[in-house]
Amino acid sequence: MVRLRPKAEARAIRHGFPWVYVDELVTDRRTQALAGGTIATLEDAERRPLATVTVNPKSKIIARVMSRDAGVEIDRAWIAERIAHALELRARLFDAPFYRLIHAEADGLPGVIVDRFGDTAVIQPNAAWSETMIGDIAAALTEVTGVTTIVKNGSGRARGLEGLSEETVLLSGEVAGPIPVPMNGAIYMADVLGGQKTGLFFDQRPNHAFAARLAKGARVLDVFSHVGGFALAALAGGAVSALSVDASAAALDLAGQGARAMGAEARFATRQGDAFATLEALAAEGETFDLVICDPPAFAPNKQALEAGLRAYERVAKLAAPLVAPGGYLGLCSCSHAADLVQFRAACGRGIGKGGRRGQIIHTGYAGPDHPMLPQLAETAYLKSLFFRLD
């Protein structure tokens, strides 16, 4: 048993909020001695059962709600039931098994990410309980989905916050090389063992599709391209050319492999380098494009980084806007949950203005439906994409 402090808001838990912060829980010696990932019953200050939680005394999020049933048993069967519930949604949404299968708290498995690449699945166990029960998660995943290869990707900032070490390991099956992923008419190459995150970002799928609609007959610039996200979608949409810019040579090589798999290599080019420096260099070279998209990493991963992050988003917009041909389009993206849509939109507007341009917003995009949002947890609504038509 663990118990909320008298001033903690039990009502938030009853209404669906999934986290308990360390200053909200009674942290006596017994609680502090619990092993990370321990399953416990959460009680309110009057000792009334509230929920079944997983406890990690090393984390600022000391407890995560597993179920609002205080008597439930968290075992392989329970995990399989959650996975099956998530799979039913994805099977309705997508014709092929390439998607985010488990989106952490929003799918009822706190701190757990699972991306599916056909017969291969990549698990990111970002909470202590999922590290402890990784064998049960993998077994349940195989049982429910039939995947034959499972990779554990134990990397990233979230694991550090939980006091977990980094490791990427093949749990079952084999990985012969990058996996071709069909999406929006494009083909992406996912490096599930050595790539960034799980190897591919599925969250931008609807925004890639919107960009592809703008790309017919267009010259396209995709900055912070990773493995060709917007560029390859634009080529599938009929772009006459696409240039991918990224700091990672490995990511650009995978983008090139994707372009070849699509038969679009003649229309595709890459440029390795710092994004800001490359934007400045392209302007100095007098280059312009009909469609420019910038999809940077999270400049504001937390509240402490918010102001600096908003300045970075403003700078991206300022440097990118002059590269857009008159009447062309600019797409700007943020995956920072600390910067809300209003703040991000204002930063982009300031940057476009400082870049000497004026624009109208024609589309606001979010993560795809395989990345569901939990209404009580703002952090799950992290992705924002704004598309402007510039004068």
Asked if residue 113 lies in contact with residue 103, where contact means CB atoms within 8 angstroms, the answer is yes
Other Cβ atoms within 10 Å of 157 Cβ, number: 10
CA distance 297 to 203: 13
Q: Quick one: which of 320, 246, 330, 329 has its CA closest to 283?
A: 320
Strands 179-183 and 120-125: unpaired
Residues 234-254 as b/e (b if ≥16 CB within 10 A, e otherwise) read: bbbbebebbbbbbbbeebbbb
Specify whether the CB–CB gap between 76 and 92 falls below 8 A: no
Q: Report how far residue 223's alpha carbon sits from residue 136's, in angstroms, rounded to the nearest whole number.
A: 40
- Please give the structure tokens belonging to residue 292: 């420019």
**Amino acid identity for residue 162 in this structure:** E
Active-site residue, from 294, 333, 335, 348: 335
The Cα 312–Cα 319 span in angstroms is 11
Does residue 335 carry a catalytic annotation? Answer: yes
Tracing tokens 């420019």 back to the chain, one arrives at 292
Which of the 8 DSSP states describes residue 314? H
Q: Copy the structure tokens of residue 31.
A: 């609680």
If you ran DSSP here, which 8-state letter would residue 64 be given?
E
Phi, psi of 213 (to 5 degrees): -70, -30
Tell me the C-alpha distance between 45 and 9, whole Å: 10
Catalytic residues: 335
